[in-house]
Each structure stands twice: as C-alpha cells, then as structure tokens.
C-alpha cells in the first residue's frame, strides 16, 4: 500500500519517494519537493485541509489533493 503525504500525522517526518510529474506542479518541486528530501507535517488546518509542511527547509501549505499524489517513506521516531 502506498503511503502518501496526506497520511502523515502532525509532527511526523517522511522522505519523499516519488510522484507523477503531471500531478504535482513544477513549482512545488522548485520549493524543494524532490525525491530524497525530508518533509515534516507541521500543522493541519481545521477541517483537515490544507496541510502546512516543512519540505526540505521550505515552509509551505498545500492542499490534500496534491499531497495525495506524493509517495513517501515514513521516518520512525526514535
């Protein structure tokens, strides 16, 4: 089962695995959303959408429908 970005819980981190280049806008890549980079979920808006993330040092908010397209590997907390 794919783990996608929208499944993250607040405070969780993950490593970006892959995503369909047509489903995710180039701009997000330019903000740092690239395979291998770390992403952390900082806040979830009330009602669950959008998501406030720290992607590779960039603080951005994106909608859940975009987050769904990004496959990630969860990083276990130690």
Partner 1 sequence: MLSSHNINVALIGNPNVGKTSVFNQLTGLNQQVGNYPGITVEKKIGFCKLPNNYKANILDLPGTYSLNASSIDENVVIELLLNKNDKLYPDVALVVTDVENLKRNLLLFTQIKDLEIPTILVINMADRMEYKGISLDIPFLEEKLKTKIALVSSRKGTGIEELKQLIVNYKSIPKEPCLNASVIDEEYFEALRKTFPNQLLYKLWLVITQDVNFLNLDRNEIRNSYTKSHSDLKRLQQKETIKRYQFINDVLKEGLKIDLNSAKDFRAILDRVLTHKVWGYAIFFFILFGIFQSIFEWSKIPMDFIDNTFASFSVMANENLAPGVLTNLIAQGIIPGIGGILIFIPQIAFLFMFISILEESGYMSRVVFLMDKIMRKFGLSGKSIVPLISGTACAIPAIMATRNIENWKERLITILVTPFTTCSARLPVYAIIIALVIPEKRVFGIINMQGLTLMLLYLLGFGMAIFSAYILNKILKIKGKTYFIVEMPNYKLPMFKNVAINVIEKTKAFIFGAGKIILAISIVLWFLASYGPGEKFKNAEKIVIEKNLAKPLNHSELQNAIASQKLENSYIGLMGKTIEPAISPLGYDWKIGVAIISSFAAREVFVGTLATIYSVGDSDNDNTIKNRMQAEINPETGQKIFNFASGISLLLFYAFAMQCASTIAITKKETNSWKWPLGQLIFMSGLAYLVALIAFQILK
Residues at the site binding partner 1, with contacts judged by CB under 8 A: 21-22, 24-32, 34-35, 42-43, 45-50, 52, 56-63, 65-66
Helix or strand or coil: residue 1?
A: coil
Least distance CB 66 / partner 1 (angstroms): 6
Least distance CB 22 / partner 1 (angstroms): 7
Q: With respect to partner 1, which residue has the nearer C-beta, 1 or 36?
A: 36
Helix (H) or strand (E) holding 26: helix 26-30
Q: With respect to partner 1, which residue has the nearer C-beta, 45 or 74?
A: 45
6 within 8 A of 51, measured Cβ to Cβ: yes
16 within 8 A of 28, measured Cβ to Cβ: no
């Amino acid at each position: 089962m794919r783990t996608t970005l929208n499944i993250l819980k607040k405070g969780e981190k993950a490593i970006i695995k892959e995503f369909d280049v047509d489903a995710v806008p180039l701009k997000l890549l330019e903000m740092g959303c690239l395979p291998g980079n770390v992403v952390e979920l900082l806040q979830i808006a009330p009602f669950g959408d959008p998501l406030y993330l720290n992607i590779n040092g960039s603080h951005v908010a994106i909608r859940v429908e975009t987050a769904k397209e990004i496959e990630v590997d969860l990083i276990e907390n130690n």
